[in-house]
Structure 1
Amino acid sequence: MNLNTFSKYKIIFWDFDGVIKDSVRVKLTAYKSLFPDANQEILQKIENHHLENGGMSRFKKIPLYLDWNSLPCDQNTIEVYQSRFAESVIQAVIDSAWIEGVELILRSKKENQLFVIVTGTPQEEIDVILKRLDIIDLFDRVYGAPTEKDRAIQLTLSDWKTLPQDTLLIGDSESDFKAAEISGSNFIFVDNAEESGFSKKYTGIRIRNFKGML
C-alpha cells in the first residue's frame, strides 16, 4: 500500500485516537483514574469496553462506567465526571506519540482532495487539540461528539455532492467500520495491536501505521 491508495479518494474521513495520535491508552488511563475506589474486576471491565469501543464518545461511556461503579447517573454527576476526564486528557493526548508516518500523509494532501475528522472526542476539545498540534488547517471539516460518525459522513457527502464509493474512512474500531458500512464509504482498519474482538474478525484492508507510504 502506498500514497496512491489515499490519493484516489475525493474525501478521506479520519478518526483521531489510534489513527492520528496513539492516544487510546492515554484515554484508558484517564477513564480508570476517575474511579480510584473501583475493584480490579470493574477496572478490567472498563478497560475491555474502552478498547473494544474506541470510537464511542465519553458521553456514552461515562454514564455506563458510573453505573458499573454503582454511582449516581444524574446529569450533574455525569457532567462532573466529564469535566474531570477532560481536564486530565487534553494535554496527555497532545503529548502522545503520532501514529508512525501519519503526519507526512496528512501534509501530502492533494489540492482537490478533502480531509474530514470524524471522532468521538467532544467538538470543542478536538478543535483545541488540532489547533495546538498545528494541523487544524489540514482538515476541511471537523466533526466531534455529539455528532455521530455516520451522520458526519452523510452530511459531508451531501454538502460536497460526493458518491460514497469515492470516499475512505480510516479508523481503528468496530464503530468506525460500522459508520463506513452504513454510509457506503470504503474503510481501512488501523490495527493498534490491542487484540480486540474486532481485530480478530475483521477481514478487510488493515495497516499498522503509515510508515513508508510516501
Structure 2
Amino acid sequence: MKSSLSNYKLIFWDFDGVIKDSVNVKTEAYLSLFPNIAKETLHRIRNHHLNYGGISRFEKIPLYLEWAGLPSSSFDIKKYLDQFEIFVVQRVIASPWIPGVEEFLKRKPLSQKFVIVTGTPENEILEIIKELNIDMLFDRVYGAPTEKEKAINLTLEEFHIDKESSILIGDSKTDWLAAQSTGIDFLYKESELDEFSKQFKGNKIRDFLGLI
C-alpha cells in the first residue's frame, strides 16, 4: 500500500461499515425477517452476515430461508427482499457516519476518482447517497447484482487506471478477496463485529479522522 490515500488515482469504497456505521442496521433487518425460528438459527444467520458483509442480500436471503426451513420460491424470496428494503433504507440514511469519512469524501481532489462497490442493490444505494447529498462525489456507483470483482475490473478498464494506482477500502473478508482477485491494494476498515479483524494482518484503520 502507498504511504497515503492521496497517492491513489482511484479509490473504491464499500458502503456499510466504511462510509456509514450501518452494519447493525442490516443485521437487525435480517433477524427481523425470521421472528419465529430457533435461536440457534438466528445466531447462525447473524454470524454469517457479519462475517460475509460484502455478500448481497440476493444471495443471503435464499440461504437464510433454507436454514430456517422456510419456503424459498422466487415469490417468497421477493417478499422477503421487499420487507428487507423497507426496513433498511431510512435507517441506513439515519445511521452515524464513520468518524471523519464525510469530511474526507468532501475533500476529494479533482485528480482522484471515487467509486462505490457494495452488495446493496444499485437502485437502493443510489437513493441513499442522493439523500445524503454525496452522490456527486462518486464517479461511478456499483451495487448488486454486479459483483465487486466485476465492478472493479469494469472501472479499471473504463478509466484506464493501473491496478497499482487503485485501492479498495472495505470492512470484510469479501472486500479483501475482491481486492486480491483484481490485483488492487486493500485498506481494511476495522470492525469489532467481524471475525476477519482477528485474522487480517495488513493495513487497517478504525476511522478517517487521521486521514483528513
- The bucket for the TM-score relative to the shorter chain is over 0.9
Counterpart CA distance in 2 for 1:190 and 1:37 is 34
Query: Given the alignment of the two structures, is residue 117 of structure 1 paired with residue 110 of structure 2, yes or no?
Result: no
1:154 alignment counterpart: 153
Counterpart CA distance in 1 for 2:203 and 2:142 is 24
Counterpart CA distance in 1 for 2:46 and 2:211 is 32
Measured against aligned partners, the alpha-carbon deviations of 1:134-188 in whole angstroms (never above 9, x if no partner) come to 0000000000000000100000000011111100100000010000001111000
Q: Give identity over the alignment, percent.
A: 52
Query: Given the alignment of the two structures, is residue 211 of structure 1 paired with residue 190 of structure 2, yes or no?
Result: no
The alignment's C-alpha RMSD in Å is 1.3
Counting matched residue pairs gives 212
1:61 alignment counterpart: 60
1:101 alignment counterpart: 100
2:168 alignment counterpart: 169
Measured against aligned partners, the alpha-carbon deviations of 1:49-94 in whole angstroms (never above 9, x if no partner) come to 0000010100000001100110111111000000000001000000
2:187 alignment counterpart: 188
TM-score by length of 2: 0.98
2:196 alignment counterpart: 198
| 1:197 positional shift | 2.8
| 1:110 positional shift | 0.9
2:4 alignment counterpart: 5
Counterpart CA distance in 2 for 1:50 and 1:183 is 23
Counterpart CA distance in 1 for 2:173 and 2:40 is 24
Counterpart CA distance in 2 for 1:32 and 1:140 is 34
TM-score by length of 1: 0.97
Counterpart CA distance in 2 for 1:113 and 1:212 is 19
Counterpart CA distance in 1 for 2:86 and 2:180 is 34
Residue identity opposite 2:200 in structure 1:
Y
Counterpart CA distance in 1 for 2:101 and 2:191 is 14
Residue identity opposite 1:118 in structure 2:
V
1:15 alignment counterpart: 14
Q: Which runs of 4+ in 1 moved over 4 A?
A: none
Return 5+ residue gaps in structure 2 as ranges: none
Secondary structure at 2:55's aligned position in 1?
Answer: coil
